[in-house]
Amino acid sequence: MALTPEDVAKLAALARIDLTGEELQHLAPQLEGILEAVASVQQVADADIPPTSHALPLTNVFRPDEVRPSLPREDVLAGAPAAEEDRFRVPRILGEEA
């Protein structure tokens, strides 16, 4: 499967990474190499080997529905790039009309 610079540009846009044309040219073959490595693992995986998403053989790890203390608001907002009216302040959200 050949990855084109256009594919990489789309992935970059979805990941909000701003890449120059030169960087796209540079990264496309690298990502291609990663896909090839995964493909070689897939060759080994037979139908009798279930796909693994988790390393631990566990299911049903739950916690009881109990309220625990939240963080103090000052601490929470201290991590915000900007705050206003006790809320996180972010730039205008583009690309959407409402």
Partner 1 sequence: MSAAVMDYDEALAAFDPVMGLEVHVELSTASKMFCGCSTAFGAPPNTQTCPVCLGLPGALPVVNRTAVESAIRIGLALNCSIAEWCRFARKNYFYPDMPKNYQISQYDEPIAFDGWVEVDVDGEPFRIEIERAHMEEDTGKSLHVGGSTGRIHGASHSLLDYNRSGVPLIEIVTKPITGAGARAPEVARAYVAHLRDLLRALGVSDVRMEQGSLRCDANVSLRPDPAAPLGTRTETKNVNSLRSVERALRYEITRQAALLREGTPVTQETRHWHEDTGTTTAGRSKETAEDYRYFPEPDLVPVAPSREWVEELRATLPEQPHLRRKRLLAEWGYTELEMRDVVSSGALELIEQTVAAGCAPQAARKWWVGELARRANETGSELDALPISPAQVAQLQQLVEAGTINDKLARQVIEGVLAGEGEPAEVVESRGLAVVSDDDALGAAVDAAIAANPDVAEKIRGGKVQAAGALIGAVMKQMRGQADAARVRELILARLG
**Which residues here bind partner 1, judged by CB under 8 A?**
14, 16, 53-54, 56, 58-71, 73, 76-77, 79, 84-93, 95-98
Residue with tokens 């907002």: 77
Distances (CA, A) of 49 to 34, 37, 41, 46: 22, 18, 12, 5
CA distance 52 to 4: 29
- If the CB atoms of residues 22 and 58 are measured against partner 1, the closer one turns out to be 58
- If the CB atoms of residues 2 and 94 are measured against partner 1, the closer one turns out to be 94
Residue type, 73: R
Q: Could you tell me the smallest distance in angstroms from the CB atom of residue 57 to partner 1? A: 9
Beta pairing partners, 84: 87
- If the CB atoms of residues 21 and 79 are measured against partner 1, the closer one turns out to be 79
Q: Could you tell me the smallest distance in angstroms from the CB atom of residue 8 to partner 1? A: 14
Cβ–Cβ < 8 Å for 3, 35 = yes
Q: Could you tell me the smallest distance in angstroms from the CB atom of residue 30 to partner 1? A: 18
Q: Could you tell me the smallest distance in angstroms from the CB atom of residue 17 to partner 1? A: 11
